[in-house]
Amino acid sequence: MTHNFRKLKIWTEGMSIVSETYNLARTFPDFERYNLSSQMIRCAVSIPSNIAEGSSKSTDKHFSKFLEVSLGSAFEWETQLIIACNEAYISDKKFKELEQRIQQLQKMISGFQGGLDK
């Protein structure tokens, strides 16, 4: 059972996180280019990418496994966001905004996955 990933709210919100991450990474210190910036971008890209790849699978069980990877990337991204805040690369206001967005996306992915598993 395939899904049109472009119509999934979890995919569109994941893509929004990707754009936000690229914008954010551009503001980090140069020495973070191959460290935190690179890792955050890879995690952000992984979120919608795994949703899209999973949507092509023939069973919801297989799709669910890709959603699990996507969810893991969302939690990893949240951890990196905390690191960025701790290192004062982002303001507390920006941190709270992005933390709320990623936590909402985590809930959305988990809820969608739960619906597939039934």
Q: Which domain holds residue 9?
A: 5-117
Q: What is the pLDDT of residue 117?
A: 74
Among candidate residues 74, 60, 48, the one with its CA nearest the CA of residue 3: 60
pLDDT of residue 1: 57
Paired tokens of 101: 């967005």
Q: pLDDT tens, 51-106? A: 999 999 988 999 999 999 999 999 999 999 999 999 999 999 999 999 999 999 99
Total domains in the chain come to 1
CB 96 within 8 A of CB 75: no
Tokens of 43: 């995690």
Spatial separation of the C-alpha atoms in residues 109 and 72, rounded to whole Å: 10
Q: What is the CATH number of the domain that holds 40?
A: 1.20.1440.60
Q: What does the alpha-carbon distance between residue 19 and residue 8 come to, in Å, rounded to a whole number?
A: 17
pLDDT at position 58, please? 85
- Residue 118's contacts (CB-CB under 8 Å, 6 or more residues apart) are none
Q: What percent of the chain stands above pLDDT 70?
A: 98
